[in-house]
Structures are given as structure tokens and as C-alpha cells.
A and B are shown apart, each in its own frame.
Chain A
């Protein structure tokens, strides 16, 4: 990268199962006002404040054509520049980084919001399937995930107990995160006894319906250093698309994630990710995903996800704490989830993660994904030095 881009302020709402009492913009502003107050920056055109906005939301979830209109007045875009990324929030961070590197603007506000509670997630997710051959099957993300879970667990002999351990760990970690929606003290038995949603995914194996928003301010190196004492730098990032038709893929594999991870590591100069990364925040909307994504990220060998959770390596006191925040399983809205991972990584690297802090974290990995069975995978490496 020609120049480093820094994240100078982050904020998030508390994630909640139903925020019917606020509109999308009001909800996002709960987080937005925090970064404005923290930095003292204003929406001005003289180069002394926030120059432009990159937003991230989806028309389908907002039930509104041009969903960025829901937050426009809160990100200062009247007679100014705003661009909306319609993908997982981590891609908005990726794009905002390139927007700054391009020289167009120096300081950006990046925001994402979603209220899953106002609609039927199943119907919206069904609209992401190809309409002629696949949509009529009635698939949603859960149904597709169940197919993937079966294939993955069968191929690599991953047990339901190993998947359940991810839930126990993450919901437990969430107890240390004041923003988490659903912290819980669980046992493997609790998870396996919860209602079956789509075999082998139980209710507690899946992320709950969630509303929330998060936001950050990003700036080019020189400005970032002036704006904040401890900016966090993006040192590597990449993303990659898989095939769309499930029949075109081996669902036990995650080629796109492997490619994205390799490119992000290369850019960040990471040779041995397990040794060099201190904390990882991974988008696991279903419990098996954390194990599969760990493999795709090269943090364990293929098929080794089960052994890794068994070994305790991903616990808070393990070799590589994964999802100290509690992860998506503890409640993050679709498309917000990936940016929440970045926000949590930033808090870790700034030493501001409170009781979920990983001691002396210097390098963090944030992972986001969207689409059916992780079709678009994004990996970001962040560092505080």
C-alpha cells in the first residue's frame, strides 16, 4: 500500500432483538454521535472535518429504495459526497480505505445499519437466490447453511458437540461485551437440546434476529495521527467471490476465503497467521461456520476446525482468542456483522475492549462474509503499530 489508512474512532449500538421504537437513522445516530463527540469533527468542506461518507445498508432490509436516505442527514451528505456499498459492512471499510487512498477525500465517516426485526429474514434471504431455478426451492440462508453444515461435518467428521462448543464459547465471551445482544452461560447439552431449526442447526447454533448499527471514522495516515493518539491501521485486506449455484461448489470447501486470506496476509506481510495474529473476530452466523472459516483462514489445517475448538486454542486464554466479543452468534444484524468485527478488532488493538480485552493485542484479524454459504468473503488485518 502506498500509504497507511487509519481508523481513528469507532462506535456501535447495543445490539438488540427489536428496536421498533426507533427509526433506522435514529438507531444509527446513537453510534454516529459518539464518534462525532469523541473526535470533535464536523461535516465541513474546508478539509478540517469529515469530508464525505461511505454508508452500507440494504434496500431489502430497510424496506426502502435507496436505503442510505435513512442515514443521509446523520452523515452530513446534504450537498456533499456519499457512496453506498450494498454488501457486508466490512466491504464498506475496504472501499472507504480505497476511496481515501485514491486521493478523493482525506477523512470519511463509514456507517452501517440494519433492523432485521422489521421483516421476515427468510423472505429477504430467499431473494438472494437465482430466481428461476433456486428461489422456488424455498431456500433461505438457514436452509443453505444446513446443507453446508451437513456436507462439512460429514466430510471432515466434525461433531455436533464441536459446533456446540463454539456457541458455549462465544455466548460466554459475550458476557464481557456490554454491546452484545445475547450473552448466555451455556453447556454443550443446552445447545444440542435447543429446538432444531434445520438439521444439524439448532436454535442456539444460529445467530438471533438482531437490530443495530456501527460506525467509524477513517483518515489518511497524516490526518489520522493528528486526530487521535492511537489510530489503528489497516495493513492488509482482500475479498473474493465464490460461485453462486450451490451445486457448483463443494460446500465443505471455502476457496474464496482461502484466496482472500492469502492476499490479505501477503499485503500485511504475515507468513504464519496463527503465530502472528493476536486476536481474531470472525463472522459466524452459524456455529459450524467458525470452524470452517478458521480452516479457510489458514488458522488450522483443512478439517482441523473441530480439533481446534476441542483444544481450547480459540478461548479467551488460548493461543488465538476468536470472537472475544461473542461474535455474530451473540447477536449482530446481517450486513452490520462484518463491520462490527472491524470495530471490535479496533477496540482490542487500542486496549479499549474492557473485560473482553486480549492482553497486549498488536495484530488483529477481522472477517466478514455475505451471500449464500459465505459466497463473498472478506479478510482484513489491522495493527496498532
Chain B
């Protein structure tokens, strides 16, 4: 990056299945105020605001214009970024770029979604071109297919997916901003949940949530002045992928591996399991998390399930993955990928509270997933 960029504020709203007590502007305002308070700055200091989400879930055209009262964008610069499920991370990356460009010193970026109003699966199916839309099964089918493939190619059993879900819930119960905090006791508790599309159970798949996330992004000069614990953006990568029928599994390398190879090479990361202290990944299903262990080269091909079996990725483990509870616990789509970045930043600062990892976190990798298997990666560091 042309100029150094830091995250100096992280904000999260209450995340829940329904938020009838607040409208969208009020909901994002919870995250905005929290981020400003975290950064200890007034909204007057913010020069630009990015307000990012997926239109179809909100049922808003020009949501950035509609929500200025909640976002604080009134009489400020800004725009809306809108990719796919990656939108929260694209919004964050855009803020990094805007500050790195030298055009702005402080940018507020927001990811938000209220999914209580519409039919999420309908909106997801509408990503397919009109003429084939009626054949599209939405995200659950695609991830069920990937799960079956994972079972065929490895010795992973249904129990391994349940272990991932159990870990997510254990972590979510320690995160006051997580949506589902179920208090699951055993893999039997997961096994009891109803099947969506075999082998995915209801608990194996991410929920529909309402919530917002916000980040305050600052230039080096400002970050050093206002923040005791700036978290530095070391690097980021966006890799899209074009598929006519969305496949999340498969033997060939996809956007995840390509993005990981790029970012590891540029940053001298040769052994991600050692060089990166904590991962916050976008795992729409419990099976996808095991895939991602492999796709991001944390472990070898077809061995992701062994990591969860051995408890390696627990919050107390050597390679913590999703100490926040991840997407399986909380999924307000526009906020989801931004939460991965915000939560990673809090881990680096040591400010994650009850879900702070046991080991000292200096370097993190956050991922986003969306579109037709698109990947975003953000590498954060305590010092550059």
C-alpha cells in the first residue's frame, strides 16, 4: 500500500434474528456509535462514510442515501460498495484503499443487513441469471453438495461437522455480540437438529441475522495520534471466480487458494499455521470451515477434519479459528465479512473480552466469501 493504514475503531450492533425495536438507520447507528467510542473520536472527525450491504435483503435501492441519519454520512463524502457476501470486506478494503490513497485521513465503513423482512434464499437465488433461476437451489444446496464431497474425499464424518458447530457455539457463548448463543453441550445436541439438505443440519448452517458492523480506518499520522493500539492493515486481496453453477467444493484450486497464495507470498508467510496467530474465516457451513483450513493451507489437503478432531482450532488451541463464534453463530450478511475483520482487530489489541484467545495474537487473517465462490483476505498486524 502506498501509505500505511490502521483500524482504530471497531463497532458492533446487537445481532439477532429480528430487531423490530430499531429501524435500519438506528441499527447501524449502534455500530457507528460503538466504533466512534472505541476510537474515541467524534463523528465530525470522520471525512467519508461507506455504507455497504446487499440491496435485495434490505429491499433498499440506494441504501447509503437512505441511511445517512444512522451512518453519520450527512454532509460528508462517501458511497456504497456492493459485491456479494463479501460486501462487508469489500467495504472495509475500499476504506483501506481510500485512506492509503492519501485522499482521506479518517474513513468510517459500515456493513449492515436486516434479514428479517424478506426471504434470504430467494434473494440468493436471484444471483443466478433469470433464465436458469428456477433451477437454482440457493446456498444450502451448494454447501450440502460440498459437504457430501468432503465426506467422500476424506475420512470426515458427520461428527466432525458437529465438532465445528460445538466450537462455534462455545465461542459464541463468550461473545455478547453473537446472535446464536445456544449453550450446546455435546455433539449429540447438534445431531438432534433437523436436516436442511443432507448432510447439513439446521445447526450446520449459518443463521439469518439482523445486525451491523463498523470500522474506523485511519492514516498512519492520525492513527498514531489518536490510538494507543492501532491495528495495522498489512495487506489485502480480492479474488473473484466465475461459475455458471456454483460449486464450493471440488478438487481444483479455487479463489481461496489463489488469494491465500498471493497474500502469503507478498508477506513472506511460509507456514500459515505458525506465521498467523488467529483466523476469522467466513464459514457459511460447519463443513466449509474444514475446507477453509485446507484452502488457506493451515493444514494439508483432506486433513482439515483432523484439526477440529484434535481441538487445534479452539479458542485455547494453537491455531484459533473464529474465536468470535463465526458465521455459524451470527450472519447479518452485509456485516458478516466486516465482523471477521473487526473481531480479528480486537484479538490483536487484546480487547476481545471473554472470547480473547489464550495465546498472544499479533497477526491475523480474515476471510470473506460471496458471489460465485469469491474470496477476500485481510491480513492484520500489531506492528508492521
Q: Chain A interface (Cβ within 8 Å of chain B)? A: 1-2, 52, 58-60, 63-66, 68-70, 72-73, 77-87, 91, 94-95, 97-104, 124-125, 127-132, 238-245, 255-256, 259-260, 370-372, 375-376
B242 near A244 with CB under 8 A, answer no
B100 near A73 with CB under 8 A, answer no
User: Is the C-beta of B74 less than 8 angstroms from some C-beta in chain A?
Assistant: yes
Q: Which 10 pairs across A and B sit closest by C-beta, in order of nearness?
A: A101-B101, A86-B82, A102-B100, A103-B2, A371-B65, A98-B101, A102-B97, A127-B61, A65-B127, A81-B238
Contacts of A94 in B (CB 8 A): 79
If the complex has contacts A64-B127, A77-B240, A84-B83, are A58 and B66 also in contact, measured as CB distance less than 8 A? no
Instruction: Contacts A83-B81, A99-B94 known; list 8 others, CB within 8 Å.
Output: A64-B127, A65-B127, A70-B129, A83-B83, A98-B97, A128-B66, A129-B66, A376-B62
Q: Which residues in chain B, 98-140, are within 8 Å of chain A measured between CB atoms?
A: 98, 100-103, 123-127, 129-130
Option from A1, A63, A65, A243 in Cβ contact (under 8 Å) with B103: A1
Option from B54, B102, B123 in Cβ contact (under 8 Å) with A101: B102
Contacts of B77 in A (CB 8 A): 238-241, 260
Inter-chain CB contacts under 8 Å: number? 186
**Which chain B residue shows the least CB distance to A132?**
B23
A243 near B68 with CB under 8 A, answer yes
**Which chain B residue shows the least CB distance to A243?**
B74
A375 near B241 with CB under 8 A, answer no
Contacts of A131 in B (CB 8 A): 59-60
Option from B73, B239, B241 in Cβ contact (under 8 Å) with A241: B73
B97 near A64 with CB under 8 A, answer no
Contacts of A100 in B (CB 8 A): 101
Cα separation A102 to B238 with both chains bound (whole Å): 14
CB distance from A142 to the nearest CB of B (A): 15
Cα separation A73 to B258 with both chains bound (whole Å): 18
Option from B55, B130, B239 in Cβ contact (under 8 Å) with A79: B239
A65 near B56 with CB under 8 A, answer yes
CB distance from A203 to the nearest CB of B (A): 24
Contacts of B61 in A (CB 8 A): 58, 60, 124-125, 127-128
A64 near B73 with CB under 8 A, answer no
CB distance from B302 to the nearest CB of A (A): 23
A241 near B65 with CB under 8 A, answer yes
A244 near B98 with CB under 8 A, answer no
If the complex has contacts A64-B129, A241-B74, are A370 and B62 also in contact, measured as CB distance less than 8 A? yes
Option from B1, B78, B126, B236 in Cβ contact (under 8 Å) with A65: B126
CB distance from A379 to the nearest CB of B (A): 11
If the complex has contacts A65-B124, A98-B97, A241-B75, are A59 and B238 also in contact, measured as CB distance less than 8 A? no
Contacts of A52 in B (CB 8 A): 238
Chain B, residues 216-241, CB within 8 Å of chain A (1/0): the string is 00000000000000000000111111
User: Is the C-beta of B371 less than 8 angstroms from some C-beta in chain A?
Assistant: yes
* 18 CB < 8 A contacts A-B: A59-B55, A63-B130, A64-B130, A69-B127, A69-B372, A73-B242, A80-B240, A82-B238, A99-B94, A101-B97, A102-B100, A104-B236, A125-B61, A127-B61, A240-B75, A245-B69, A370-B65, A376-B65
If the complex has contacts A66-B127, A95-B79, A370-B65, are A78 and B74 also in contact, measured as CB distance less than 8 A? no
A77 near B78 with CB under 8 A, answer no
A66 near B84 with CB under 8 A, answer yes
B97 near A66 with CB under 8 A, answer no
User: Is the C-beta of B96 less than 8 angstroms from some C-beta in chain A?
Assistant: yes
